Each structure stands twice: as structure tokens, then as C-alpha cells.
Structure 1
Amino acid sequence: MAFYFLLYWHFLLMVMLIIIFAGSITFLFPRFPSIVVLVISGLIGLVYSILIDFTNARYFFISINVIVTSIPIILIRYLLFLKRKAEEMEVE
């Protein structure tokens, strides 16, 4: 099964597009709920498993998409937190 993922480039393309999507949504709309972005990425993983006709690994695709989506969300939330703290320290 691991060799299967190395052969198809569209899996990596999907993961890269999900990272860009999650990062841009989180950065442009900071008050947008992160759980919605995570659910959308999980649904994309489900649709991907149906499209390539490999529904036995749907939980794997969903979990990979959710984990990969959480990385830019956490990083951008931390960046916004640091920015807010720097502004507070600048005022003091």
C-alpha cells in the first residue's frame, strides 16, 4: 500500500493544495472556525478515496488530510498570537 502512494502524484498534489487552502483561509479569515476547515479537508479525503476507487483506505486518507490541515492552522494561529503579544508589549 505504501508503494501505491509513491506512484501517484495526485495524492501529493491534493496534500499540497489542502495545506495552501488551510493556510490561506486561516490567515485571511482569523475568526473562521478551524473545525470547519478540518471537516472540509476530511471530506476531501473521503471524496479522493471514492474517486480513485480505493475506499478501503478512506480512514487513512481522511486522517492524513486532517493531520496535514492542522499543521498550517496551528502555525498561523501561533503567528497571530505572537503578533498580538508583540503589539501588547509595544504599547507598554
Structure 2
Amino acid sequence: MKNKFLIGSLKCMVISFIIGMILIFLSTSIGLKMGYDAIQASGGGMETSQYEMIVKSNIDNFRTGGFVFSFIGGLGMLMSGYTLYKNIEE
């Protein structure tokens, strides 16, 4: 029963890690898309500095979120894997 819980926990951590990596790698595309959407929402025109600020802040936010997900997922994978290894060893 304990091993099933650990395997389930390990799966959740792997999924969290993968989501984080996807966010990190796609943060630039997401930021540019959000900048484009902001231009369209303002009627098709916007100051360059505003556009750059929107794109940069969104890229930074998604990259930070991806880092948090991947860090927690990676650390959780290590901890769950080690605990599972110790339980199998016994």
C-alpha cells in the first residue's frame, strides 16, 4: 500500500516536472502571443515600449512559473525515488 502511494506521488512529480519544462521552453512564444493580443485589444496600435514591457513581463512570469514547477517536480522525483528505493530494499 505504501509503495502504491509512493509510485502515485512519483507520477505526480514527473508530470509537474514536465509541465514546468514545457512552460520554460514555450515562455517566449506565450509572451509574444500575449503581446500580439494586447496590440489587437488596443485597436491595432501600441507604443513600442508598452509592447516590449508586456512581452518581457509575460515571458519572465511564465519562465519563473515553469522553473518553480520543474524545481518542485524534480526535487519531488528525487525524494520519492529515494524513498521508494529504500522501501524496496527492505
TM-score of the superposed pair, with normalisation by structure 2: 0.57
* Counterpart in the other structure of 2:80: 87
Uncovered stretches (5+) of structure 2, i.e. residues with no partner: 1-14
Computing the radius of gyration over CA atoms, which structure comes out larger, 1 or 2? 2
- In the alignment of these two chains, the number of paired residues is 67
Correspondence for 1:54:
46
Could you tell me which runs of 5 or more consecutive residues in structure 1 were left unpaired when the two chains were aligned. 1-25
8 Å CA contact 1:49–1:55 kept in 2: the answer is: no
**Gap change, CA 1:59 and 1:69, over 3 Å in 2:** same
Contact 1:49 1:61 in 2 (8 A): no
Q: What percent of counterpart residues are identical?
A: 6
Indicate the RMSD between aligned Cα atoms, in angstroms: 2.6
Greater RCO, 1 or 2 (C-alpha within 8 Å, sep 6+)? 2
| Cα distance between partner residues in 2 of 1:41 and 1:51 | 15
